[in-house]
Amino acid sequence: MYAMIAYIFATCVPGQENDAISKIKKLPNVVEVNGIMGRYDVFVKVSAKKEEDLHAAITGVRDVQDITSTATFATIRGQGGSIDEEK
């Protein structure tokens, strides 16, 4: 079974980015979380083998108290992938 991946861009309450990142790091199926600059404050990568686990991970990020909005982008299996996987 392949892993499903989604990228989440989140906006936080101003000044609460570090708290949000700390909370997100503890969530199941979170692979990566970073503070970013620009329209969004936090970048999150989630991965799961089951659709319901991926959905739970996305919902978990959205439910973090300091998160005010999110934009979620799910990947399409078979289109692209990590450049490291190609080597």
Domain ranges in the chain are 4-79
Q: Which fold has domain 4-79?
A: Alpha-Beta Plaits (3.30.70)
Does the structure show a pLDDT above 60 at 87?
no
**Pairwise CA distance, residues 33 & 9, whole Å:** 10
65-85 tens-digit pLDDT: 999 999 999 988 777 777 666
Q: Which residues contact 15 (CB under 8 A, 6 or more apart)?
A: none
In the chain, alpha helices (H): 17-25, 51-62, 83-86
pLDDT at 23 over 70: yes
What pLDDT does residue 1 have?
Answer: 55
Q: Name the amino acid, one letter, at 32.
A: E
The whole-chain average pLDDT of the chain stands at 92
pLDDT greater than 60 at residue 86: no
Q: Residues 44-67: pLDDT tens digits? A: 999 999 999 999 999 999 999 999
